[in-house]
Structures are given as C-alpha cells and as structure tokens.
C-alpha cells in the first residue's frame, strides 16, 4: 500500500442534464468513499435544474452548452498536471473503495494512461436499475484481493479514468458528436492510447443504473448509430471492421425488434433514424451534427 503523498490527485467529473434526483443519489454515494476525491466537478447543461444537490468537499458546479462532449470538455479545462481524471455518468454508483483503489492503481502502474472499472450490472441494456437494487449488487460483491487488470480497446464512458498529461497537451472529446455523444468514449480512448496502456481494472467495481430519463430520442440515436461510427472511421480513431460490425448489429437489432419492441427502447424511432442516416450518406451530407435537426 502506497503512502498518501505517493498517490495522484483525483479529479472526479460528472456531466449531467436534467436529472437532479439521480445525480443527488450518486453524490451521496460518492460521499461514502473511503478515499474522497480531491476535486469534484459537476457540469450541468445550460438551463438544467441543479437546486437541492448535496454539497461535498471540493465540489464545484460548472455549466456548458448541452452535449456530453461539450460538458466533459468544460471539465477538462479545469485539469491540473498532477490530476488523474475520472469521468462518471450521473447514474453510475461506485463501490465504497473505488477511488482509493483507483489512486493506488495509477500510482503503481505508471505505464497505464487510462483505466475503466468492472461494471457489476448495467441497466443500459434493459429497463434500468434502481438505486436500492444497485446497493444490493454492490453489497454482494466485496473487494477481491486477487482482482487484476486486462488490456481493453477502450474505456467505458460511464466510469473512465485517465492521466491529465494528454489533456494538457490539447486532447479533448470530439464536440462534433452531439447530445449523448454516442461512441465518444471509443474516440477519446483510441486517441489517448498513444500515451500509454488502456486497462480494465476489476478491483474498481460499480453499477450503472442506465436511467432512461434525459436520454436522446430514438430517431436521433438511430441517426448517430450510423453517422458516428463512420465519422470515427474518417478520424482514424476506430478501426473500420469494428465500426462497421457495430453499425450492422445496431441496424439488425432495430429492424428485427421494431415489430415487437422492448417497452424501454424506441426501436421504430431508432430504425427511422438509421434509414435517415443512410439516405444522407447516399446524398453525401451525412454528419454527426445532423442528428440535432431531427425530432
């Protein structure tokens, strides 16, 4: 175990839009960390409600134009050289020792530039999870002394930590990826990968609630499912085979499930967005920002 003076400073950043109730719960969970953040920066979309949030030590509230990438970039502007920056979704609940183990791991592995944790349960693929269910899942997963690290292609945006050095050199999230920023974590991860290794650290445990409120419309997300992977291919931040396979899987899932969609997924809206994107591709005007023009 390394001494406190050997550990990096931790800056925790959370971008949020119109979900004060769930954000408040996440902040109360963060207040119970065995090692608190040195700085906690919340970036709310302009016009979002933030009244009544619990105040944690080192917490600062920022605002930025709506859009995950823009809000995260506003947080990055506040980074210092000694920081390790951890981005959490406003509905990601970390285990009580998450920050402590994160600081220890970065101090012990200077060759690693980015870490992402082990998601014990992810409500994004279903109807979503409640805070009480998440608490039970976390309680049933105590620390594992044998937990190790494995290389991964990218960090998962709901819990993604990295060293500040590349940020100070000018690395930012791509603000051409609008709204929810579909695949912004892949793009950022691949561009930071030239500075060190990207690892999944299974000692970092948490639950992603996957709350559905405040998310992008089905049509807009469907458009982004086509436009964003092709944009990342052009940027050379995602390999063509990986991007095209993801694109094909999403279109197939939307098409197959459109007749009997899940109650929590707008499959028909997503399929319509897919088709609009393919139409724009044929017309030579496909661009991630075009999603903003859709209902």
pLDDT in tens, 148-197: 999 999 999 999 999 999 999 999 999 999 988 999 999 999 999 999 99
Percentage helix, strand, coil, to 5, in the chain?
40, 20, 40
156 and 65 share one domain = yes
Taking only the tens place, the pLDDT of each residue in 99-147 is 999 999 999 999 999 999 999 999 998 889 999 999 999 999 999 989 9
- Any domain includes 43: yes
- Any domain includes 22: yes
Residue 18: its pLDDT value, please? 83
Taking only the tens place, the pLDDT of each residue in 77-94 is 999 999 999 999 999 999
Choosing from 208, 231, 263, the residue where a domain stops is: 208
27 and 142 share one domain = yes
Expressed as residue numbers, the domain containing 107 is: 4-208
149 and 282 share one domain = no
The first and second tokens of residue 118, run together, are 């082990």
Confidence of residue 4 (pLDDT cuts 50, 70, 90): low
- Any domain includes 213: no
Averaged over 41-48, what is the pLDDT?
92
Choosing from 174, 208, 242, the residue where a domain stops is: 208
The CATH number that applies at residue 197 is: 3.90.550.10
Choosing from 156, 181, 208, the residue where a domain stops is: 208
Query: In terms of C-beta density within 10 A (0-12 exposed, 13-18 middle, 19 or more buried), how is residue 106 classed?
Result: buried
Closest Cα partner for 265 from 207, 221, 208? Answer: 221
Number of domains observed in the structure of the chain: 2
**Cβ-proximal residues to 10 (8 Å cutoff; 6+ apart), any chain:** 35, 37, 38, 39, 83, 84, 86, 99, 102, 103
225 and 195 share one domain = no
Q: How far apart, in whole angstroms, are the C-alpha atoms of residue 136 and residue 132?
A: 6
- Any domain includes 97: yes
- Any domain includes 226: yes
Instruction: Kindly report the average pLDDT of the chain as a whole number.
Output: 94
232 and 276 share one domain = yes
């Amino acid at each position: 175990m390394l001494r406190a003076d050997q550990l990096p400073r931790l800056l925790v950043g959370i971008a949020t839009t119109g979900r004060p109730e769930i954000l408040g719960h996440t902040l109360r969970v963060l207040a119970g960390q065995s090692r608190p953040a040195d700085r906690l920066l919340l970036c709310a979309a302009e016009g979002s409600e933030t009244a009544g949030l619990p105040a944690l030590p080192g917490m600062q509230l920022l605002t930025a134009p709506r859009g995950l990438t823009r809000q995260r970039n506003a947080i990055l502007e506040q980074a210092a050289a000694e920081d390790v920056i951890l981005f959490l979704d406003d509905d990601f609940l970390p285990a009580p020792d998450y920050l402590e183990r994160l600081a220890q791991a970065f101090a012990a592995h200077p060759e690693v530039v980015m870490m992402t944790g082990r998601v014990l349960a992810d409500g994004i693929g279903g109807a979503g999870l409640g805070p009480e269910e998440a608490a039970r899942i976390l309680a049933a997963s105590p620390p594992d002394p044998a937990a190790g690290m494995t290389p991964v292609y990218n960090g998962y945006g709901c819990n993604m930590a990295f060293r500040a050095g590349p940020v100070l050199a000018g690395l930012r999230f791509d603000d051409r990826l609008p709204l929810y920023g579909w695949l912004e974590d892949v793009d950022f991860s691949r561009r930071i990968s030239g500075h060190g290794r990207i690892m999944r650290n299974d000692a970092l445990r948490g639950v992603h609630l996957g709350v559905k409120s405040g998310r992008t419309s089905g049509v807009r997300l469907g458009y982004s499912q086509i436009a964003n992977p092709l944009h990342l291919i052009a940027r050379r931040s995602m390999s063509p085979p990986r991007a095209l396979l993801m694109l094909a899987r999403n279109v197939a899932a939307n098409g197959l499930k459109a007749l009997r969609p899940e109650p929590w997924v707008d499959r028909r809206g997503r399929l319509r967005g897919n088709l609009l994107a393919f139409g724009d591709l044929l017309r030579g005007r496909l661009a991630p920002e075009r999603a903003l023009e859709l209902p």
